[in-house]
Amino acid sequence: MKFPVPPRLNRALVALATLITVSRSAADMSLPPDNPLARESSLPLGYPRFDQIKDHHFAPAYAAGMAEQIRQVDAIANNPEPPSFANTIIALERTGQLLERVDDIFSNLTATVTNDNLRALEKEIRPKLAAHHDAIRLNRALFARIEALHGKRGELGLDPESDWLLQRYYKDFVRAGAQLSSGDQDRLKAINQEIAGLQATFGQNIQKDSNAAAVVVDTRAELAGLPENEIAAAAAAAKEEGKPGKYLIRLLNTTNQPALSSLENRALRQRLFEASVQRNRRGEFDNLPIISRLVRLRAERAAILGYKTHADYQVEDQTAGAIGPVNRLLADLAVPAVANARREAAEIQAVIDRENGGFKLAPWDWDYYAEKVRRQRFDFDESELKPYLELNRVLQDGVFFAATKLYGITFAERKDLPVYEPSVRVFDVFDADGSHLAIFIADMYARPTKRGGAWMNGYVSQSKLLGRKPVVGNHLNLPKPAEGEPTLMTWDEVITTFHEFGHALHGIFSDVTYPRFSGTSVPRDFVEFPSQVNEMWATWPEVFRNYARHYRTGEVMPAALLEKVMAAQKFNQGFKTTEYLAASLVDQAWHQIQAGEVPEPAGVMAFEAAALRKAGVDFAPVPPRYHSPYFLHAFFHGYSAGYYSYLWAEVLDADTVEWFKGSGGLARRNGDALRRGILSRGGSAEAMTLYREFRGAEPSLAPLLKRRGLEPVNAGAGQ
């Protein structure tokens, strides 16, 4: 016998059914239960089952994850119940958990231990994912529900984080094209799919050509000046590549290569530099056609969405808000930066001339002779530091030690969890009260299957709504030493280690309700702020003395050498600022043009050269940190029209460092304030609002200018 269901109860049952559909596990879908991606890992905090996941598991898991999320979204969009925050926005936050799990693991593995199978799937899956996301954000019925809620925000009585989530959903959908005509949406979908495929190919080409362009050296004598441990590492690398008895210098993703500061052989320096800058300009891994097509598509997409350029579209959603402030910042710093670089070049040329070098300073000479200038001015060179900068001490007695002092958290290495590569290390992170806060993965070494650079990634993102705690990883590209030898680091590598752990802290301390705001889900020109602040502890005396110990004797670095390191902080800043600004200005030049202005592939390098001349940073001895063909940030990562972010965030960073120094430095109360005001908040509020509330004031540019030695100089200086 059937009983009539009261309307209110019926609506409640429909809503409940929707939520059940949204939270349905992969086991109910088409993915076989023996696929380890089918369900959340049973390991602590959902740590991935790297020991069980195989290449062939990803394709069916992606298919199941996308199908599941589309079913979940359709149930929300077609819910007969009037839209509410719970049955629309929260329900959306619960969708796609299988797909997120699959994509997080796949993206990390393709970046760290890729192979031909994963590369092929990456090229296939990225356009499909673009189409999948468009199917959600261009769903008219779904957007109608979001738009209706957004229109009555003031009546919903939402808490601040929930209100911001609703605002963000509305803005995300509008920026994705939800209000466009059907014809424009169709073109947008095609563009997004093509862009996704091009970006995947661009990134793979860089990794492949960097491996192919590694420099083979025939004799040990040619490596004169290179430290013994680096010579041994080069010999081991050559042996791995089937060239025993020779030496192999692998390339990092940047234009300049670390060995350039040590190699005495000028011909080898030139060969190494030219191998670096000629990458991806020709042959099988040529990225010039990809750049031309990618920039044109991005410009067309921006126009469809109602923006003048791709940069206008991108920067609108950052803390900068518009390209005008970005252009002013870059232009204002370019003049003093290049002036400083020219003064530094004059000093270097003087050294070359005193030694009767008989040549004019070239880019491959800068690092080598800058070290000589450093030795003369500060009476030390980089090689003196390296015996005191051993990786394990830097990580545990430096990075972790500072975090314990500042935040009260502790670390314990564990060997029981599976890793995707034998050199990877895993640490539990415990809060000050002893509770399990997170898991941290440290993947420090370069290898041919790993992309260049250094980065932080989330393997599991924190969310109170989903009951998740974070699993985050730092990934560097330190040259792996020969078996049994210590990993001795350059000063730049030490700074990078502290920097990337600043990103990790942003993920570890995340304490938000909604997945959309977890960890580093903040504007690109804000995400670098916490990481750059964390660099300050590398030179903080208490931290420095704790980790800067000789790898053989344990002797603390002599105070006199530490003083020289500190005195040299502004050294070579003209070079460093100019190479960074040059890359940032090239990024903006590519993305501040319209589709009809994009050059053909043959004109790509000429376009870059013209952009450098126009900006006044075309100083030959100081090339851009990245040339366009291997500029991952601009054409593969999510930093297109956003490479300026490091400098923009450094304004906040330098201002905050001054605050720390004036507030007692490495103290728990200061760490707790940064954690409470910034690190735990993720993207749960407008970024600059968080900063002003934390800092109690607007940021000042003065500390950045002081740090980089860019204070006003006398007229005519450097001419």
List active site positions. 500
| Cα–Cα distance, 711 to 601 (Å, whole number) | 40
The DSSP annotation for 49-74 comes to -TTT--GGGHHHHHHHHHHHHHHHHH
What are the b/e assignments for 51-85, b being 16+ CB within 10 Å? eebeeebbbbbbbbbbbbbbebbbbbbebebebbb
Element (H, E) at 425: strand 425-430
Rounded to the nearest 10 degrees, the angle between the axes of helix 524-534 and helix 687-695 is 30
Residue written as token pair 């605050």: 659
Q: Mind spelling out the 3-state secondary structure of 535-586?
A: HHHHCCHHHHHHHCECCCCCCECCHHHHHHHHHHHHCCHHHHHHHHHHHHHH
| Residue 686 burial class via C-beta count within 10 angstroms: exposed 0-12, middle 13-18, buried 19 and up | middle
| Residue 676 burial class via C-beta count within 10 angstroms: exposed 0-12, middle 13-18, buried 19 and up | middle
| Cα–Cα distance, 136 to 140 (Å, whole number) | 9
Task: Residue 34: count other Cβ atoms within 10 Å of its Cβ.
Answer: 8
C-alpha distances (whole Å) from 345 to each of 274, 338, 376, 434, 644 are: 20, 10, 15, 53, 25
Cβ–Cβ under 8 Å, residues 468 and 101:
no
Cα-trace Rg, the chain: 26
Check the CA dihedral 146-147-148-149 and report its sign: positive
Contacts of 621 (CB under 8 A, 6+ apart): 341, 345, 361, 362, 363, 365, 366
Cβ–Cβ under 8 Å, residues 161 and 512:
yes
Cβ–Cβ under 8 Å, residues 386 and 550:
no
Cβ–Cβ under 8 Å, residues 471 and 47:
yes
Residue written as token pair 């598509």: 297
Tokens of 705: 């200018």
Amino acid in the structure at residue 479: P
Cβ–Cβ under 8 Å, residues 426 and 439:
yes
| Cα–Cα distance, 670 to 673 (Å, whole number) | 5
Length of the chain as a residue count: 719
Per the DSSP assignment, residues forming a β-bridge with 441 are 426, 473
